[in-house]
Amino acid sequence: MLKIHVDMDKCQHYGQCVFDAPEVFALNDDDKLEYKATADDSERENVQRAVDICPMQAISFTE
Ligand code: SF4
């Protein structure tokens, strides 16, 4: 199980993470980021890509 955290003080809601891990990250109707705080291990590669791509380095996770 992955535990995911986004620092919402850093997040600028650009949405790059949504493309890499759409099962975890989404933009809501107000174009604000929403995300699941936990995800299955099978999402690990996708979440890691989101961590790497985030321009604000706002995403972190633990296993
Ligand atoms: S890529 Fe980073 S800054 Fe952009 S929405 Fe995701 S967490 Fe926020």
Q: Which domain holds residue 22?
A: 2-62
Q: What is the pLDDT of residue 26?
A: 98
pLDDT tens readout for residues 27-44: 999 999 999 999 999 999
3-state class percentages of the chain: helix first, strand second, coil last, to nearest 5: 30, 25, 45
How far, in Å, is the centroid of ligand 1 from the Cα of 3?
Answer: 16
Domain count for the chain, please give it: 1
User: What CATH number is given to the structural domain containing 18?
Assistant: 3.30.70.20
For residue 60, list its beta bridge partners: 5
- Report d(CA 30, CA 41) in Å as an integer: 29
Distance in angstroms (rounded) separating the CA atoms of residues 40 and 30: 27
The reply to whether ligand 1 has any atom less than 6 angstroms from the CB of 2 is no
The answer to whether the pTM exceeds 0.85 is yes
Say if ligand 1 is within 6 A of residue 27 CB.
no
pLDDT of residue 17: 98
